[in-house]
Amino acid sequence: MFPEDENEKREANDTPPEAPGTEPTGPEYSSLIEYPKDSPAQSGVNPELLVLEDEPEAIDQKLAATSTEPGIYLLRDRAGKVLYVGKAKSLRTRVRAYFREGGDGRYQVRFLMKRVRDFDTIVTSSEKEALILENNLIKQYKPKYNIRLKDDKSYLSAKITNHAWPRITVTRKIVKDGGHYFGPFGSADGLRETIDVIRKVFPLRTCTDAVFRNRSRPCLEYQIKRCLGPCCLAVDREEYGRHLHAAQMLLEGKNLELLREMRDLMKDHASRLEFEQAARIRDRVRAIEKTVERQTVLHHWGIDQDVFGIYREGGYIEAIVLIVRGGKLTSTQGWSFQDLEFPVYEILSDLLTQYYSGARNIPDEVIVPVELEDAAVRAELLSERRGKKCEVFQPQRGEKLRLLEMAMDNARQSFASRRDNEKTREQMLEDLRVKLGLRNSPKRMECYDISNLQGSMVVGSQVTFDEGEPCKNLYRRYRIRSFEGQDDFASMYEVLKRRLERAVRENIYPDLWVIDGGKGQLNVALEVLREFRLLDQIDCVSLAKQHVLNDRREKEVTKSEERVFVPRRKDPIVLPKNSTALFLLVRIRDEAHRFAITYNRELRRRARLRSVLDDIEGVGPVRRRAMLRHFGSLKRIREATADEIAAVKGLNRELAARIRKHLDEMTALLDVEEIADAADQIALPLEAAAFAADQGDAPVNNAPVRN
| 486 backbone φψ class: left, alpha, beta (φ>0; ψ -120 to 50) | beta
**Domain assignment present for 335:** yes
Half-sphere exposure of 131 (CA within 13 A, CB side): 22
Residue 31: CB atoms within 10 Å: 16
3-state secondary structure of 510: coil
Instruction: Looking at the structure, tell me whether residues 576 and 546 fall in a common domain.
Output: yes
List the one residue out of 212, 209, 202, 193 whose CA is nearest residue 161.
209
| Burial (Cβ within 10 Å: 0-12, 13-18, ≥19) of residue 534 | middle
State pTM to two decimals. 0.51
Whether residue 465 sits in one domain with residue 555: yes
The secondary structure of residue 573, as a DSSP letter, is B
Tell me the C-alpha distance between 432 and 628, whole Å.
Answer: 48
Sign of the torsion angle spanned by Cα atoms 334, 337, 343, 349:
negative
What's at 495, amino acid-wise? V
Residues 318, 411 within the same domain:
yes
Look at residue 334 and give its three-state secondary structure: strand
Residue 331 near residue 306, CB atoms below 8 Å: no
- Whichever domain contains 68, its CATH number is 3.40.1440.10
Element (H, E) at 448: strand 444-453
Residues 610, 676 within the same domain = yes
Q: Give the residue from 92, 114, 146 where a domain finishes.
A: 146
Do residues 365 and 503 share a domain?
A: no
Q: Is 624 strand, coil or helix? A: helix
Same domain for 499 and 370 = no
Q: How many CA atoms lie within 13 Å of 185's alpha carbon, on the beta-carbon side?
A: 22
Distance (Å, whole) CA 59 – CA 74: 14
CA distance linking residue 526 with residue 531, whole number of Å = 9
Q: Residue 56: which H helix or E strand, with range? A: helix 56-64
Same domain assignment for residues 450 and 572: yes
Residues 493 and 461 in one domain: yes
Beta bridge partners of 306: 323, 366
H or E element: which one contains 94?
A: helix 91-99
Residue 9 lies in a domain: no
Q: Are residues 547 and 612 in the same domain?
A: no
Residue 517 lies in a domain: yes
- Are the CB atoms for 589 and 518 separated by under 8 Å? no
Cα(681)–Cα(676) distance, rounded to whole angstroms?
Answer: 9
Measure the CA–CA gap between 350 and 655, rounded to whole angstroms: 61
Is residue 201 situated within a structural domain? no
501 and 634 in a single domain? The answer is: no
**Among 568, 598, 628, residue at a domain's last position:** 598
- Collapsing DSSP states into helix, strand and coil, what is residue 540? strand
Domain of residue 363, residue span = 305-417
Backbone angles phi, psi at 562, to 5 degrees: -65, 135
The CATH number covering residue 609 comes to 1.10.150.20
Backbone angles phi, psi at 140, to 5 degrees: -75, -50
CATH number at residue 529: 3.30.420.340
Answer yes or no: are the C-beta atoms of 528 and 493 closer than 8 Å: yes
Give the pLDDT confidence score for residue 496 in this predicted structure. Answer: 94
- Tell me which of 146, 173, 190 is where a domain ends: 146
Q: Is residue 352 part of a domain?
A: yes
Do 43 and 136 have their domain in common?
A: yes
* Three-state secondary-structure class, residue 579: coil
Determine contact, residues 514/585, Cβ cutoff 8 Å. Answer: yes
Spatial distance between the Cα atoms of 455 and 452, rounded to a whole number of angstroms: 6
**Strands across the sheet containing 168-171:** 168-171, 156-160, 180-185
Q: What is the largest CA-CA distance in the chain?
A: 90
Assigned domain for 554 exists: yes
Structurally, the chain folds into a number of domains equal to 4
Cβ(486)–Cβ(529) below 8 Å = no
Please choose, from the candidates 219, 406, 452, the residue with its C-alpha nearest in 3D space to the C-alpha of residue 296: 406
Residue 122 counted as domain residue = yes
Spans of the chain, pLDDT less than 50: 1-54, 676, 678-707
The answer for residues whose C-beta is within 8 angstroms of residue 146's C-beta and 6 or more apart is: 84, 85, 138, 350
The three-class DSSP label of residue 318 is strand
- Residue 298, domain member (yes or no): no
Which segments of 80-238 are extended strands (E)?
82-88, 118-123, 156-160, 168-171, 180-185
Nearest to 99 by CA among 70, 138, 66, 128: 66
- For 443, phi then psi, to 5°, come to -65, -50
The CATH number of whichever domain residue 361 belongs to comes to 3.30.420
Residues 556 and 617 in one domain: no
Measured CA to CA, the distance from residue 531 to residue 65 in angstroms comes to 63
